[in-house]
Amino acid sequence: MENTEEGKDAKRNGFKEFFSLGEVGGYFFRKKDPNRPSNINIKMMHGVNKISIAIFLIGVLYLVLKRLL
């Protein structure tokens, strides 16, 4: 077992990073990049990905609320 301050900080940062929605939020709310190629296939792929992430998060929230209530 590691009882140093570094070990405690690593655990605390890991827990905080686990529940961080930075990448998911960045995926939904990002600025348009002019250097990124844009065609209908990529737009459709990102649209489907956004829908699947949203449905997954709604499902997880439903299961958590169902378990708690």
Distance, in Å, from the CA atom of 58 to the CA atom of 54, rounded to the nearest integer, reads: 6
pTM above 0.95, yes or no: no
Positions of E strands within the chain: none
pLDDT digits (tens, 9 = 90+) for 27-46: 667 777 788 777 898 889 88
- At 55, is the pLDDT very low, low, confident or very high (cuts 50, 70, 90)? very high
> The tokens 């449905």 sit on which residue?
55
